[in-house]
């Protein structure tokens, strides 16, 4: 039984398990705070009413030891959740070594690197655990949204022979007698599934980028939410993306209120539709030249100007991937979804014509032969289609106003960190 399953009116004996969060010995009475996944339960031990055996066990137990407690519930407005448990038995299931390398009560702060080194302990902190409870709610909301929209969930390979974007930010691996790579994106496989007639697919899975960033908003392994949609253009999938963001915010505000209270966060559900500006308008605001991409300073300037979620549309074709549909002389049917703090998603209408796609691959300096398995699917009837990829960690970081993207990952992988 979790702490959330008990209320002050619960009758009869209950059993709770968890870690010793804190012990307060006040002489004639001892309070033991037991922490489980859902919260904290107060175990009250008046020395005149509790057996010496139980009191000795509590005295012996160290902080963060794991206990099983049985006893009766008693209403007490001063206790967490408005009740306490008077124990009839206490069992020590696992004794914790002392001293602790990190303080799960959060009374003693720790640097990010220390927290990540001792991540298993760090995630015992109620505020840290609340982030991952919200992450779970977000994933549930996202899946429910796509199922309601008639999408099919798929899983594509993460070991691939060719770079998705054709670039160099890849992690090579030894694959028997050949070289292979960790996949940057499910992009090519999503498009191939459009040729297979699945029409609407989504995937939530890891992506790998061998970029040598050491910033508060970059990871080398991240979770991407990707969709591809047949018979759709860039405008349609932009609408789908903003509806998903709205739905996820609303779902979390409604269903994760306890975790939000622990984090002392109130999330503002964004208004839709989001603002839309062209690339030309964006470079005017940020004082960039045509063809430039936006760095952190330019994104901050744009964010201050826009003030909320917004789309940048009609990017120059030359700085977008080869599969992006051209539009006009130098533009493309592409977009980025931006939050004032960071880019969240990128998408476009895709090229579905084989000859045009092959031409754009060559113009980027790549060999069409390297993309044979992909290009082959465009020869036999590829419907028009569009899609996008959304970073889950960046969505959570901006939604919860987290200082560092690593706070949104249980075990982050960045340029320097491979363990734990």
pLDDT of residue 291: 86
Residues 21, 125, 135, 217: which is the catalytic one?
Answer: 217
Of 346, 348, 350, 393, catalytic: 346
Angle at 237 between CA 234 and CA 238, to 5 degrees: 80
CA pair distance 172, 174, nearest whole angstrom:
7
Instruction: For residue 166, name the pLDDT band (cuts at 50, 70, 90).
Output: low
The phi and psi torsions of 61 (rounded to 5 degrees) equal -70, 140
Q: Which two tokens stand for residue 12?
A: 């009869």
Whether 218 is catalytic: yes
pLDDT at 101 over 70: yes
Q: Is 217 a catalytic residue?
A: yes
Q: Is 242 a catalytic residue?
A: no
The pLDDT-based confidence of 17 (bands split at 50, 70, 90) is: very high
What domains can be seen in the chain, in order of their start residue?
A: 3-94 (2.40.50.140), 121-408 (3.30.930.10)
DSSP 96: P
346 is an active site residue: yes
Contact 365, 240 (CB under 8 A): no
Given the residues 211, 221, 298, 358, the one annotated as active site? 211
Q: CA-CA distance, 392 to 417, in Å (whole number)?
A: 20
- Is 224 a residue of the active site? no
Q: Looking at 209, 247, 352, 406, which residue is catalytic?
A: 209
Kindly name the residue from 350, 394, 406, 407 that is annotated as catalytic. Answer: 394
Question: For the chain, how far is it from start to end, CA to CA, in angstroms?
Answer: 30
Write down how long the chain is: 420
List, for residues 130-159, the tens digit of each pLDDT value: 999 999 999 999 999 999 999 999 999 999
């Amino acid at each position: 039984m979790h702490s959330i399953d008990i209320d002050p009116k619960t009758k009869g004996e209950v059993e709770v398990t968890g870690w010793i969060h804190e012990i307060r010995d006040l002489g004639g009475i001892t309070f033991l705070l037991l922490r489980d996944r859902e919260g904290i339960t107060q175990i009250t031990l008046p020395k005149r009413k509790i057996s010496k055996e139980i009191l000795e066990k509590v005295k012996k137990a160290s902080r963060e030891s794991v206990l099983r407690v049985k006893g009766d519930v008693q209403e007490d407005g001063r206790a967490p959740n408005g009740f306490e448990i008077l124990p009839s038995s206490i069992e020590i299931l696992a004794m914790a070594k002392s001293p602790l390398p990190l303080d799960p009560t959060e009374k003693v702060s720790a640097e990010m690197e220390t927290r990540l080194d001792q991540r298993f302990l760090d995630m015992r902190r109620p505020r840290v655990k609340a982030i991952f409870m919200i992450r779970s709610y977000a994933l549930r909301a996202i899946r429910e949204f796509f199922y309601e929209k008639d999408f099919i969930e798929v899983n594509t390979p993460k070991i691939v022979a060719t770079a998705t974007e054709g670039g160099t930010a890849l992690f090579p691996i030894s694959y028997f007698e050949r070289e292979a790579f960790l996949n940057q994106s499910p992009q090519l496989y999503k498009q191939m599934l459009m040729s297979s007639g699945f029409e609407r697919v989504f995937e939530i899975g890891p992506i790998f980028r061998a970029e040598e960033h050491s910033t508060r908003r970059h990871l080398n392994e991240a979770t991407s939410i990707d969709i591809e949609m047949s018979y759709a253009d860039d405008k349609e999938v932009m609408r789908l993306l903003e509806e998903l963001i709205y739905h996820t915010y609303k779902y979390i505000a409604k269903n994760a209120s306890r975790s939000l209270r622990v984090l002392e966060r109130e999330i503002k559900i964004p208004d839709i539709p989001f603002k839309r500006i062209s690339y030309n308008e964006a470079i005017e605001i940020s004082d960039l030249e045509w063809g430039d991409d936006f760095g952190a300073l330019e994104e901050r300037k744009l964010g201050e100007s826009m003030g909320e979620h917004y789309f940048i549309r009609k990017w120059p074709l030359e700085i977008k991937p080869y599969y992006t549909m051209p539009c006009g002389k130098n533009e493309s049917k592409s977009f980025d979804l931006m939050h004032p703090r960071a880019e969240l998603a990128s998408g476009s209408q895709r090229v579905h014509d084989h000859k045009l796609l092959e031409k754009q691959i060559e113009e980027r300096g790549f060999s069409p032969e390297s993309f044979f398995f992909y290009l082959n699917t465009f020869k036999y009837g590829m419907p028009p289609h569009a899609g996008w990829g959304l970073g889950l960690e960046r969505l959570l970081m901006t939604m919860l106003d987290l200082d560092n993207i690593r706070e949104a990952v249980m075990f982050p992988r960045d340029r320097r960190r491979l363990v734990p």
